[in-house]
């Protein structure tokens, strides 16, 4: 009997420990139109969790910080299904992701907001996210809104001498919203839009669309995901000589574009993306951590993925429990001054300060992570061109 009681006690302790682990849901677009962009972001998420667990884990008992991954496929329906399972079956404390704006909006409106669960996206950037919450304070993001990227890209187009251009944008939440922000900023800066047309993703050919747009301008502003139409549009344009110059944004910034179209054909192509300032102390702390794990520190949204993962853990640690109802307030607290500055990788330091009742201020590898009233952060952007067969980035001032 005594042995049976001991065995039952041991099993109970194991079960209690397992229940005390902190699980966060991570719906990433591992398939769909941008898997090459997402793979290093996912690696950065895993790296942050690894650092946290290696430096004492969560709370006084050192509970594990677990990333429960699901595939949102950069698709609204898939995201709703994935997050429904993460929240209702896996019982995660918060949602880390999704990557794409349409997926983020759909799951938040249908699932996470009604369930009272915080979403912290690593890269969703549509301006529509800013006002979608209606005061719930449950949607945050670690990357800047495309309301800002649209302005940066418009200013870049004017600086490059593109006084007129045609626009083609994919008919989805991310690309349509970015195209709209760009259009407004570009015309305000004196640019002329000769044509502005939506295109449906995943068509086998866009020759007719390219011909129509190409008849109005030599310059094309392309807003698309590389894997669901962007490469095909550029191929059709290059084949027909419809355009001499291209500009666009992060949805096209993939090595696959170079591999499929050839570096020699991309000499007049410039794409922008959210970027980190490599002169900051936070990026200086992040870079060797990423290099040691063979994670590309400066790739689009990779640092944002690490920051978001680390911040969610800090918020839950500060709250003292994986309680869905208190994570939002704690998330704002750990990311904002005053408080002792915490850099990427400094989990043990942060945990000790919080345990002693102190305040912390996480400074992200991707930049300052102070959330405004809408859960948005400010950001910087870079411009990328092809140099020696690969993308080369430079910060936009």
pLDDT per residue over 74-84, tens digit each? 999 999 999 99
| DSSP designation for 58 | B
CA angle 375, 32, 202 (to 5 degrees): 110
User: With 60 as the cut, is the pLDDT of residue 185 above it?
Assistant: yes
For residue 19, what pLDDT is reported? 42
DSSP-derived pairing of the beta strands 245-248 and 269-275: parallel
Which pLDDT score is estimated for 133? Answer: 66
pLDDT at 17 over 60: no
pLDDT tens-digit readout, 63-72: 999 999 999 9
Please report which confidence band the pLDDT of residue 131 belongs to, taking 50, 70 and 90 as the band edges. Answer: confident
CATH of 147-274+388-395, one of 3.40.50.2300, 3.40.50.300, 2.30.30.220, 3.40.190.10: 3.40.50.2300
257-301 tens-digit pLDDT: 999 999 999 999 999 999 999 999 999 999 999 999 999 999 999
Read off the pLDDT band of 87 (50, 70, 90): very high
CA distances from 95 to 24, 71, 119, 324, 328 (A): 6, 13, 5, 10, 12
In the chain, which residues fall in CATH 3.40.50.2300?
2-144+279-368, 147-274+388-395
For the segment 82-109, the average pLDDT, to the nearest whole number, is 97
How far apart are the C-alpha atoms of 176 and 186, rounded to whole Å?
Answer: 15
What would the DSSP string read from start to end of 59-109?
TTTTB-EEEEEEE-TT-HHHHHHHHHHHHHTS--S-EE--SSHHHHHHHII
Note the pLDDT of residue 221: 98
Token duo for residue 253 = 């910034």
> Which whole number is the average pLDDT over 182-188?
98
pTM of the shown model? 0.90
- C-beta of residue 251 within 8 angstroms of C-beta of residue 172: no
CATH class of segment(s) 2-144+279-368: alpha beta
DSSP 246-307: EEE-GGG-SHHHHHHH-GGG-TTEEEEEEE--TTSHHHHHHHHHHHHTT--TTSTTHHHHHH
């Amino acid at each position: 009997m005594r042995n049976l009681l001991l065995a039952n006690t041991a099993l109970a302790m194991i079960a209690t420990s397992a229940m005390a682990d902190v699980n966060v849901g991570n719906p990433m677009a591992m398939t769909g139109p941008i898997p090459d962009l997402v793979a290093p972001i996912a690696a950065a998420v895993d790296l942050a969790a690894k650092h946290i667990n290696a430096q004492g884990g969560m709370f006084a008992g050192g509970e594990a910080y677990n990333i429960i991954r699901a595939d949102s496929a950069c698709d609204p329906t898939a995201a709703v299904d994935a997050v429904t399972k993460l929240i209702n079956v896996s019982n995660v404390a918060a949602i880390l992701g999704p990557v794409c704006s349409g997926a983020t909006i759909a799951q938040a409106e249908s699932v996470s907001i009604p369930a009272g669960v915080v979403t912290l996206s690593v890269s969703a950037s549509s301006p529509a996210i800013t006002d979608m919450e209606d005061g719930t304070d449950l949607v945050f993001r670690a990357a800047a809104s495309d309301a800002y990227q649209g302005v940066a890209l418009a200013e870049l187009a004017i600086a490059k001498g593109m006084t007129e251009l045609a626009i083609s944008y994919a008919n989805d939440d991310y690309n349509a919203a970015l195209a709209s922000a760009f259009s407004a900023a570009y015309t305000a800066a004196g640019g002329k839009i000769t044509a502005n047309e939506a295109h449906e993703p995943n068509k086998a050919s866009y020759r007719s669309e390219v011909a129509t747009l190409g008849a109005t301008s030599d310059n094309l502003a392309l807003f698309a995901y590389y894997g669901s139409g962007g490469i095909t549009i550029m191929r059709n344009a290059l084949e027909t000589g419809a355009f001499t110059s291209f500009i666009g944004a992060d949805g096209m910034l993939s090595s696959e574009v170079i591999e499929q179209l050839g570096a020699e054909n991309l000499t007049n192509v410039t794409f922008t993306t959210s970027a980190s300032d490599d002169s900051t102390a936070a990026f200086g702390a992040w870079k060797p951590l990423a290099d040691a794990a063979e994670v590309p520190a400066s790739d689009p949204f990779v640092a944002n993925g690490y920051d978001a993962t680390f911040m969610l853990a800090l918020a839950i640690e500060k709250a003292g429990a994986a309680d869905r109802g208190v994570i939002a307030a704690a998330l704002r607290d750990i990311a904002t001054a005053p408080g002792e500055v915490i850099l990427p990788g400094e989990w043990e330091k942060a945990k000790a300060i919080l345990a002693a009742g102190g305040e912390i201020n996480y400074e992200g590898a991707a930049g300052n992570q102070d959330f405004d009233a809408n859960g948005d952060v400010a950001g910087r952007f870079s411009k990328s061109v092809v140099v020696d067969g690969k993308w080369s980035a430079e910060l936009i001032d």
